[in-house]
Amino acid sequence: MSTALTKLQRERTDPAMAQSFYEAMKKYRIVISAALMVGLVLILFVHAPIIPVVAGCMLAVAIAMLRARSAGKGKGGFRGGQ
């Protein structure tokens, strides 16, 4: 067997990937901060269950990222792309 890393393994261990992930997260720091604050308030002051709050905060961040990604693309389809 070869001890050389495959291309996929090299991409996973590439330190630039960690930096690019960090750069991508910098765009959404307000969304992440808001989700963190809401989660802490719900858990600490309202005594909401932890697992649903964490899942909801992660879902809110994911939806915000997907909306921002789709908003950046060219708009076509309905109303003639206006």
**Residue in 73, 69, 43 with CA at minimum distance from that of residue 57:** 43
Give the pLDDT of residue 35: 94
Instruction: Name the band, by pLDDT with cuts 50, 70 and 90, for residue 13.
Output: low
Is the pLDDT score of 81 beyond 60?
no
Please name the residue ranges forming H helices in the chain: 7-13, 15-26, 29-44, 50-72
Left, alpha or beta for 18 (phi > 0: left; psi -120 to 50: alpha)? alpha
Cα 21 from Cα 32, distance rounded (Å): 14
Tens-place pLDDT, residues 35-67: 999 999 999 999 999 999 999 999 999 998 888
Q: 3-state class of 27 per DSSP?
A: coil
Cα radius of gyration rounded to whole Å, the chain:
19
